[in-house]
Amino acid sequence: DGGITQSPKYLFRKEGQNVTLSCEQNLNHDAMYWYRQDPGQGLRLIYYSQIVNDFQKGDIAEGYSVSREKKESFPLTVTSAQKNPTAFYLCASSQQGAKTGELFFGEGSRLTVL
């Protein structure tokens, strides 16, 4: 079945450690996105990529990094520079760079810093 796969679903990290969240899609979509979700704050855009080998910062990119070496993959690294990384992370993809607005979401990864 076509869709977006995020892994791991749950992740625990010690302070000072980097961690990478995986996002893979088999929808042949050009654009991919990473959002962070915190209670009462909706979804905030971290990074997005509209084409392979290119990506842009969103509203809260500090402390995060991404790569887009393949069309189907858009991993997110949460670095030790991210001051409050505990959150629910959602990956999404779309055709036409979200011009139509329909994003397809993965089931999310919950990161907890111990």
Partner 1 sequence: AQSVTQPDIHITVSEGASLELRCNYSYGATPYLFWYVQSPGQGLQLLLKYFSGDTLVQGIKGFEAEFKRSQSSFNLRKPSVHWSDAAEYFCAYNQGGKLIFGQGTELSVKP
- For partner 1, the binding residue among 2, 15, 69, 101 (CB under 8 A) is 101
Burial tier of 45 (Cβ tally within 10 Å: 0-12, 13-18, 19+):
middle
Question: Which residue of 1, 14, 15, 42 would you call a contact of partner 1, by CB under 8 A?
Answer: 42
For the chain, how big is the Rg over CA atoms in Å? 13
Q: Does 110 bind partner 1 (CB under 8 A)?
A: yes
- Answer yes or no whether residue 4 interacts with partner 1 by CB under 8 A: yes
Q: Which is nearer to partner 1, 67 or 104 (CB)?
A: 104
Residue 97 sits in the site that holds partner 1 (CB under 8 A): yes
60 binding partner 1? (CB under 8 A):
no
Choices 17-25, 33-41, 63-71, 73-81 (CB under 8 A): range interacting with partner 1 = 33-41
Using CB under 8 A as the binding rule, whether residue 90 contacts partner 1 is answered as yes
C-alpha–C-alpha distance, residues 64 and 101, integer Å? 24
Residues 6+ apart with CB under 8 A from 46: 34, 35, 36, 58, 59, 60, 61, 64, 66, 76, 89
SS (H, E, C) 87-112: EEEEEEEECHHHCCCCCEECCCEEEE
Binding-site ranges for partner 1 (CB under 8 A): 4, 31, 33, 35, 40-45, 48, 50, 58, 90, 92, 97-103, 105-108, 110
